[in-house]
Chain A
Amino acid sequence: MANYEALRHLTIGQYIPTGSLIHRLDPRAKLVALGCFIVASVLAGKYANALLLLLLTVALVKLSRLHLRSMLATLTPVIPILLVMALLQLIFYGGASRSGGLNRLLVDWGPLHISGESVRVIVVTWARFATLFLLVTLLTSTTTASALTRGLEGVLRPLTRLRLPGHEIAMVGTIALRFLPILGEQLEAILQAQASRGVSETSSRWRFLDNARRMARMVVPLFVDAYHRAEELILAMQARCYHGGKGRTYLVSFTYRFSDYLAVALGALLVILVGVLQYSALP
């Protein structure tokens, strides 16, 4: 039952106003800076740059005056699986060789080989995961859904020249973020309702078809509920004469300020710094 309750604490997609500097940034600048961070964390494959990124992200969370602990609470149910994964990787990672340097074997006992390389892979993976998770949570907690749509639309504006529906794609993203916590609660309700009627959580992995049917029984109500919500939303949008992005005007228009330019410039610098660190002699 414990893992059902985790769904309610899904902090991604919930706006928490604190009025900090990060809250006041232009959403377009925030999105571009986030893109830079994601590119940087994909590039980062060493202790130095992966941990630098994680530290910077934690600093950003502090700057936004949000609670780090409540952000990380979502991750608690995943930690056991992550630990098992890390352990398996530690033991079976193929990069072990008997050469010197970072790749030397730390433990060589019977069939057990643990190299410095496998430790590095695990640390970097964890750091990258925490960085990405915190960044996405940070973006959605410091930006309202409507500002996020406008920002995404602004970033995708060059695509409309190529006849790609930038506004519609931004709208899809907004609807998804808006409904993520709602559907999370719904899924939790479904699971608890089924558990209270005696549906067992897991059965043997050999009873594959039974497991598949159990899964279908869980997922079908979720989809049907989402479908009903979609029908209501479609009706509401039709009633308000929504007709897509063509010829649409806005009540509030965004203008770039100095801090926005600074955020984008820092993001770009970060990518370069991480790239340089990746090819440097640092571990």
Chain B
Amino acid sequence: MKPSDRGIRRVVTAGLLLAITLLLTFTNVAFIPVPTPAGSATIGHIPAIIGGILEGPLVGLIVGLGFGFGCFMNPLVTAVTNDPLVIWLPRLFIGVAAGLVFMLLRRANKRVLAVMLVLLALLVLYYSYQVGGKILWLGLLIAFLTGIGALALYNWARGEEAIIISLAIAGVVGSLTNTVLVLSAAVWRKVPGIGPEVALGVGLTQGIPEAILSAIVVVAVVSALRQIGKRRRGSRL
């Protein structure tokens, strides 16, 4: 592929993903009901993640810019705050983070991914140990949930291809970038009604379902586009 062809591919892919982002944020198709106080999770940021995965961080950045604009035009978002530093700036990094993570993990095999899972589980267990020092039942609960989560993830990952797992991780990272950066910016800019405790609560109840949703949709879309994972039987998507 000539360098100029690569350039055309980037421009066109970014353009179409930008169109999908704007379509999803302008209409209310992108909201699905979840059992959290906010009531719905969005998938508007997923084109930015997919752009980062397919064509690299720069395309992810441009699509993220468009998602920020779409949010800026959305009355549900601007009803809370109209600060561009909260609405617009954090969204630039969604596609960048997802793209970088996928670039790192693309060549990873399952052994590397398993080691990462163990490290992550140990990190959360250490956190639960610290929490358990203050509130015993909460620490035990977190440790218990971590164990179940790690087992479920291991069980799921055993039957999948390494590239699918990498895609899911990139999807989760992109989505969490959105949640964490937007809420941090909201706390930093002192948006009324969002203190550190509220932000933490919203982050846990909203960020986790969105991350799971993002992983599911990103894997489904990218594997459909790249025609990977076709050989597996009994795919759940």
Instruction: Report which A residues bind B (CB closer than 8 A).
Output: 3, 6-7, 10, 12, 42, 77-78, 81-82, 85-86, 89, 93-95, 122, 125-126, 128-129, 132-133, 136, 168-169, 171-180, 183-184, 187, 191, 202, 204-206, 208-209, 211-216, 218-220, 222-224, 226-227, 229-230, 233-234, 237-238, 242-244
Whether the pair A89, B79 counts as a contact (CB closer than 8 A) is yes
Interface residues on B, range: 35 or more
Whether the pair A176, B35 counts as a contact (CB closer than 8 A) is no
**Distance (Å) between the CB of B49 and the closest chain A CB?**
12
| 9 residue pairs from A and B, CB less than 8 Å apart | A125-B82, A175-B15, A208-B34, A213-B237, A216-B216, A220-B224, A226-B16, A238-B8, A244-B4
Known interface pairs A174-B15, A230-B16. Does A94 touch B216 (Cβ–Cβ under 8 Å)?
A: no
Residues of chain A contacted by B19 (CB below 8 angstroms): 175-180, 183, 226
Cα(A273)–Cα(B72), bound, Å = 23
Whether the pair B212, A212 counts as a contact (CB closer than 8 A) is yes
Known interface pairs A205-B39, A244-B7. Does A224 touch B20 (Cβ–Cβ under 8 Å)?
A: no
B residues 12-26 touching A (CB-CB < 8 Å): 12-20, 22-23, 26
Residues of chain A contacted by B17 (CB below 8 angstroms): 226
Whether the pair B217, A215 counts as a contact (CB closer than 8 A) is yes
Tell me which of B4, B11, B34, B75 contacts A172 (CB under 8 A): B11
Q: With CB as the reference atom, state the residue of chain B lying closest to A203.
A: B33
Whether the pair B16, A168 counts as a contact (CB closer than 8 A) is no
Residues of chain A contacted by B84 (CB below 8 angstroms): 42
Whether the pair B39, A219 counts as a contact (CB closer than 8 A) is no
Question: In the complex, how many residue pairs between chain A and chain B have their CB atoms under 8 Å apart?
Answer: 170
Residues of chain A contacted by B78 (CB below 8 angstroms): 125, 128-129
Cα(A184)–Cα(B28), bound, Å = 12
B101 within 8 A of A: no
Whether the pair A42, B217 counts as a contact (CB closer than 8 A) is no
Known interface pairs A12-B26, A78-B75, A211-B34. Does A237 touch B225 (Cβ–Cβ under 8 Å)?
A: no
Residues of chain A contacted by B32 (CB below 8 angstroms): 211-212, 214-215
Q: With CB as the reference atom, state the residue of chain B lying closest to A95.
A: B192
Known interface pairs A174-B15, A226-B16. Does A216 touch B220 (Cβ–Cβ under 8 Å)?
A: yes
Whether the pair A242, B73 counts as a contact (CB closer than 8 A) is no
B162 within 8 A of A: no
B92 within 8 A of A: no
Whether the pair B35, A180 counts as a contact (CB closer than 8 A) is no
Known: A94-B192, A132-B73. 4 other contacts (CB 8 A): A171-B15, A212-B32, A218-B29, A226-B17
Q: With CB as the reference atom, state the residue of chain B lying closest to A237.
A: B8
